[in-house]
Amino acid sequence: MLYWWLKNGVLGPLLQTVFRPTIEGQEHIPPKGAAIVVSNHLSFVDSIFLPLAIPRRMTYLAKSDYFTGTGLRGALVRLFFNATGQLPIDRAGGKASEASLNTGLQVLGEGRVLGLYPEGTRSPDGRLYRGRTGVARMVLEANVPVIPAAVIGTDRVMPLGAKLPKVRKVMIRIGPPMDFSRFEGMEGDRFVLRAITDEIMYTIAQLSGQEYVDVYASTVRNQTASSEA
């Protein structure tokens, strides 16, 4: 109930009035049943703008840091993520990655729409980076439609490090469902997982118009942080 109140009664009308986002391809979202929406990740506000473009309720697997922040900003972020039904996950890898996979499969098993960022983190410079293969494993294990999407302009609304958003034009493009049923039962093959992930990222790049870089965004961010230290 609170989710729809925020979406249709508070945030939705506010963002529509202030930002007037352009939305393309809403007809590609299945009216019922489980589905995975995969998108690029440019800004913190992606998780606000993209659900507004999806006519159904979306659930994200959000990094646990969003639920443990301090101060007023931390409290507001925590309130927002809890109110919208987002689920905290640990991105440390290993057993944490397995737990994240199981959480996502549970959401899909309930017939819901799950939102994923295959890059695993926000782009450090606006380019599209290599996807993590966990998304492919989830796709094969859940056997559900994959809906590619692209957010455009959110990095200008709220760049990395910004504390307040700016009014800039935002566009959201949603592509036709992707079918990976030909790989059924091959979720244990790492080459298949990489091929699926690369196909997803290529499709997102076509929708977003971003330059694709075949390295992980986290690697670039760590290298940048090291050089600035």
Residue-wise pLDDT for 103-124, tens only, equals 899 999 999 999 999 998 999 9
pLDDT given at position 229? 53
CATH number at 95 reads 3.40.1130.10
Distance CA 31, CA 8 (A): 18
Please tell me the least confidently modeled range out of 148-152, 209-213, 225-229.
225-229
Q: What confidence category does residue 8 fall into, taking pLDDT thresholds of 50, 70 and 90? A: confident
Q: What confidence category does residue 11 fall into, taking pLDDT thresholds of 50, 70 and 90? A: confident
Partners of 178 in the beta sheet? 146
Q: What is the average per-residue pLDDT within 81-94?
A: 68
Residue-number span of the structural domain to which 75 is assigned = 22-228
How far is residue 145 from each of residues 46, 94, 115, 228, measured CA to CA in Å?
21, 26, 12, 42
Domain membership of residue 148 (yes or no) is: yes
Domain membership of residue 210 (yes or no) is: yes
The DSSP output letter for 84 is T
Q: State how many domains the chain has.
A: 1
Q: What is the pLDDT of residues 29-65, one digit of tens each?
A: 999 999 999 999 999 899 889 988 899 999 988 777 7
Domain membership of residue 7 (yes or no) is: no
Domain membership of residue 185 (yes or no) is: yes
